[in-house]
Amino acid sequence: MSLRKLLGKDEKFFDLLEASAEEAKASTAQLGRFLLNIEDPAKRQGLSEFVLTRRKDKRITSEITEELCKTFVTPLEREDIEALSMALYRIPKGVGKVAERISIYAGPLPCEKLRQQVALIEEAADAVIFMVKQLRKGTQLDKIQDANAKLQHAEGAADKLMLEFLKDLYNGPYDAKTFVIVREFYEMLEKVIDRCRDAGNVVLQIVLKYS
Protein backbone atom coordinates (compact mmCIF):
# COMPACT_ATOMS: atom_id res chain seq x y z
CA MET A 1 0.00 0.00 0.00
CA SER A 2 1.42 3.42 -0.90
CA LEU A 3 1.65 6.19 1.66
CA ARG A 4 -0.43 8.37 -0.64
CA LYS A 5 -3.28 5.87 -0.30
CA LEU A 6 -2.54 5.46 3.39
CA LEU A 7 -3.08 9.15 4.11
CA GLY A 8 -5.74 9.65 1.45
CA LYS A 9 -5.83 11.91 -1.57
CA ASP A 10 -5.87 15.05 0.54
CA GLU A 11 -2.40 16.55 0.78
CA LYS A 12 -3.03 18.46 4.00
CA PHE A 13 -1.32 15.94 6.27
CA PHE A 14 1.83 16.03 4.13
CA ASP A 15 1.72 19.83 4.15
CA LEU A 16 1.32 20.03 7.91
CA LEU A 17 3.98 17.44 8.74
CA GLU A 18 6.45 19.13 6.40
CA ALA A 19 5.64 22.52 7.95
CA SER A 20 6.30 21.08 11.40
CA ALA A 21 9.65 19.66 10.24
CA GLU A 22 10.56 23.07 8.83
CA GLU A 23 9.83 24.72 12.18
CA ALA A 24 11.99 22.13 13.90
CA LYS A 25 14.86 22.99 11.58
CA ALA A 26 14.24 26.73 12.01
CA SER A 27 14.55 26.38 15.77
CA THR A 28 17.96 24.69 15.48
CA ALA A 29 19.20 27.45 13.17
CA GLN A 30 17.96 30.04 15.67
CA LEU A 31 19.93 28.33 18.42
CA GLY A 32 23.06 28.46 16.26
CA ARG A 33 22.65 32.22 15.80
CA PHE A 34 21.84 32.64 19.47
CA LEU A 35 25.10 30.97 20.55
CA LEU A 36 27.09 32.84 17.91
CA ASN A 37 26.12 36.16 19.49
CA ILE A 38 25.88 35.12 23.13
CA GLU A 39 29.33 36.46 24.04
CA ASP A 40 28.66 39.94 22.63
CA PRO A 41 26.19 41.90 24.79
CA ALA A 42 25.50 44.27 21.90
CA LYS A 43 24.41 41.41 19.63
CA ARG A 44 22.92 39.11 22.23
CA GLN A 45 19.47 37.98 21.13
CA GLY A 46 16.36 37.54 23.20
CA LEU A 47 14.02 34.57 23.19
CA SER A 48 11.26 36.01 20.98
CA GLU A 49 12.30 33.97 17.93
CA PHE A 50 12.21 30.74 19.91
CA VAL A 51 8.84 31.58 21.42
CA LEU A 52 7.39 32.39 17.99
CA THR A 53 8.69 29.18 16.42
CA ARG A 54 7.44 27.04 19.29
CA ARG A 55 3.99 28.65 19.16
CA LYS A 56 3.82 28.22 15.40
CA ASP A 57 4.73 24.56 15.63
CA LYS A 58 2.23 24.06 18.45
CA ARG A 59 -0.49 25.49 16.18
CA ILE A 60 0.57 23.09 13.42
CA THR A 61 0.45 20.16 15.83
CA SER A 62 -3.02 21.21 17.00
CA GLU A 63 -4.17 21.53 13.40
CA ILE A 64 -2.99 18.00 12.67
CA THR A 65 -5.03 16.75 15.61
CA GLU A 66 -8.10 18.66 14.42
CA GLU A 67 -7.76 17.36 10.88
CA LEU A 68 -7.46 13.79 12.14
CA CYS A 69 -10.81 14.25 13.87
CA LYS A 70 -12.44 15.51 10.68
CA THR A 71 -10.80 13.23 8.12
CA PHE A 72 -11.39 9.55 7.43
CA VAL A 73 -8.20 7.82 8.54
CA THR A 74 -7.88 4.29 9.90
CA PRO A 75 -6.69 3.92 13.52
CA LEU A 76 -3.30 2.70 12.33
CA GLU A 77 -2.86 5.76 10.15
CA ARG A 78 -3.93 8.00 13.00
CA GLU A 79 -1.27 6.54 15.28
CA ASP A 80 1.46 7.02 12.69
CA ILE A 81 0.57 10.64 11.99
CA GLU A 82 0.16 11.49 15.66
CA ALA A 83 3.47 9.83 16.56
CA LEU A 84 5.37 11.78 13.90
CA SER A 85 3.59 15.02 14.74
CA MET A 86 4.55 14.75 18.42
CA ALA A 87 8.12 13.69 17.64
CA LEU A 88 8.57 16.76 15.44
CA TYR A 89 7.01 19.10 18.01
CA ARG A 90 9.44 17.94 20.69
CA ILE A 91 12.42 19.28 18.69
CA PRO A 92 11.66 23.04 18.88
CA LYS A 93 10.29 22.51 22.38
CA GLY A 94 13.65 21.12 23.47
CA VAL A 95 15.58 23.82 21.62
CA GLY A 96 13.53 26.51 23.33
CA LYS A 97 14.32 25.08 26.76
CA VAL A 98 18.05 25.14 26.00
CA ALA A 99 17.89 28.79 24.95
CA GLU A 100 15.85 29.71 28.03
CA ARG A 101 18.36 28.13 30.40
CA ILE A 102 21.37 29.67 28.69
CA SER A 103 19.73 33.11 28.64
CA ILE A 104 19.43 33.23 32.44
CA TYR A 105 22.99 32.09 33.10
CA ALA A 106 25.49 34.91 33.56
CA GLY A 107 28.57 32.77 34.09
CA PRO A 108 31.25 31.60 31.63
CA LEU A 109 30.10 29.39 28.79
CA PRO A 110 32.03 26.91 26.60
CA CYS A 111 30.41 28.54 23.56
CA GLU A 112 32.59 26.86 20.95
CA LYS A 113 31.78 23.43 22.34
CA LEU A 114 28.08 24.23 22.47
CA ARG A 115 28.18 25.45 18.87
CA GLN A 116 29.78 22.18 17.78
CA GLN A 117 26.88 20.29 19.30
CA VAL A 118 24.34 22.60 17.66
CA ALA A 119 25.99 22.14 14.25
CA LEU A 120 25.37 18.40 14.53
CA ILE A 121 21.79 19.04 15.65
CA GLU A 122 21.24 21.16 12.53
CA GLU A 123 22.66 18.34 10.41
CA ALA A 124 20.24 15.92 12.05
CA ALA A 125 17.32 18.32 11.52
CA ASP A 126 18.18 18.55 7.81
CA ALA A 127 17.94 14.76 7.57
CA VAL A 128 14.58 14.81 9.35
CA ILE A 129 13.16 17.36 6.90
CA PHE A 130 14.31 15.27 3.96
CA MET A 131 12.76 12.13 5.41
CA VAL A 132 9.44 13.78 6.16
CA LYS A 133 9.26 15.22 2.63
CA GLN A 134 9.83 11.78 1.16
CA LEU A 135 6.53 10.60 2.64
CA ARG A 136 4.64 12.63 0.06
CA LYS A 137 6.42 10.74 -2.71
CA GLY A 138 5.62 7.28 -1.44
CA THR A 139 7.61 4.43 0.03
CA GLN A 140 11.11 5.19 -1.24
CA LEU A 141 12.84 3.01 1.30
CA ASP A 142 16.37 3.42 -0.06
CA LYS A 143 16.28 7.22 0.23
CA ILE A 144 14.78 7.03 3.70
CA GLN A 145 17.45 4.59 4.83
CA ASP A 146 20.23 6.78 3.43
CA ALA A 147 18.88 9.84 5.21
CA ASN A 148 18.42 7.86 8.41
CA ALA A 149 22.03 6.73 8.19
CA LYS A 150 23.10 10.40 8.03
CA LEU A 151 20.92 11.10 11.02
CA GLN A 152 22.44 8.24 12.98
CA HIS A 153 25.92 9.42 12.00
CA ALA A 154 25.17 12.91 13.35
CA GLU A 155 23.89 11.42 16.59
CA GLY A 156 26.97 9.21 16.90
CA ALA A 157 29.28 12.18 16.32
CA ALA A 158 27.34 14.14 18.94
CA ASP A 159 27.78 11.29 21.44
CA LYS A 160 31.56 11.33 20.87
CA LEU A 161 31.66 15.10 21.33
CA MET A 162 29.66 14.76 24.50
CA LEU A 163 32.19 12.30 25.89
CA GLU A 164 35.07 14.64 25.01
CA PHE A 165 33.31 17.62 26.57
CA LEU A 166 32.53 15.71 29.74
CA LYS A 167 36.13 14.55 30.02
CA ASP A 168 37.26 18.18 29.80
CA LEU A 169 34.61 19.20 32.31
CA TYR A 170 35.52 16.46 34.80
CA ASN A 171 39.24 17.28 34.62
CA GLY A 172 39.05 21.05 34.18
CA PRO A 173 39.39 23.84 36.74
CA TYR A 174 35.66 24.31 37.23
CA ASP A 175 33.89 25.11 40.48
CA ALA A 176 30.96 22.96 41.52
CA LYS A 177 28.30 25.43 40.31
CA THR A 178 29.82 25.86 36.85
CA PHE A 179 30.35 22.10 36.54
CA VAL A 180 26.69 21.30 37.23
CA ILE A 181 25.30 24.05 34.99
CA VAL A 182 27.54 23.39 31.98
CA ARG A 183 26.95 19.65 32.20
CA GLU A 184 23.21 20.34 32.15
CA PHE A 185 23.59 22.39 28.95
CA TYR A 186 25.50 19.55 27.29
CA GLU A 187 22.85 17.03 28.34
CA MET A 188 19.97 19.22 27.14
CA LEU A 189 21.57 19.54 23.72
CA GLU A 190 22.10 15.79 23.63
CA LYS A 191 18.37 15.35 24.24
CA VAL A 192 17.56 17.61 21.29
CA ILE A 193 19.53 15.47 18.85
CA ASP A 194 17.84 12.43 20.40
CA ARG A 195 14.50 14.07 19.50
CA CYS A 196 15.68 14.36 15.90
CA ARG A 197 16.61 10.69 15.95
CA ASP A 198 13.20 9.80 17.36
CA ALA A 199 11.43 11.68 14.55
CA GLY A 200 13.59 9.95 11.95
CA ASN A 201 12.83 6.57 13.48
CA VAL A 202 9.09 7.23 13.24
CA VAL A 203 9.40 8.05 9.53
CA LEU A 204 11.50 4.93 8.94
CA GLN A 205 8.98 2.74 10.76
CA ILE A 206 6.10 4.19 8.72
CA VAL A 207 7.88 3.51 5.44
CA LEU A 208 8.93 0.01 6.47
CA LYS A 209 5.37 -0.76 7.50
CA TYR A 210 3.81 0.26 4.21
CA SER A 211 6.55 -0.51 1.69
Of the options 1.20.1070.10, 3.40.630.30, 1.20.58.220, 1.10.533.10, the CATH number for the domain spanning 3-210: 1.20.58.220
Q: Quick check: 200 pLDDT over 70? A: yes
Structure letter (DSSP) for residue 173: S
- Per-residue pLDDT tens for 139-165? 678 999 999 999 999 999 999 999 999
Query: Which DSSP string corresponds to 174-206?
Result: --HHHHHHHHHHHHHHHHHHHHHHHHHHHHHHH
pLDDT digits (tens, 9 = 90+) for 85-144: 999 999 999 999 999 999 999 888 899 999 999 999 999 999 999 999 998 887 678 999
Residue ranges of domains in the chain: 3-210
d(CA 117, CA 111): 10
The pLDDT value recorded for residue 140 is: 77
pLDDT digits (tens, 9 = 90+) for 35-88: 988 877 666 778 999 999 999 999 999 999 998 888 776 434 789 999 999 999
**CA dist 73 to 1, 3, 5, 29, Å?**
14, 12, 10, 34
Q: What is the pTM of this model?
A: 0.89
- Alpha carbon 39 to its chain centroid, in Å, reads 24
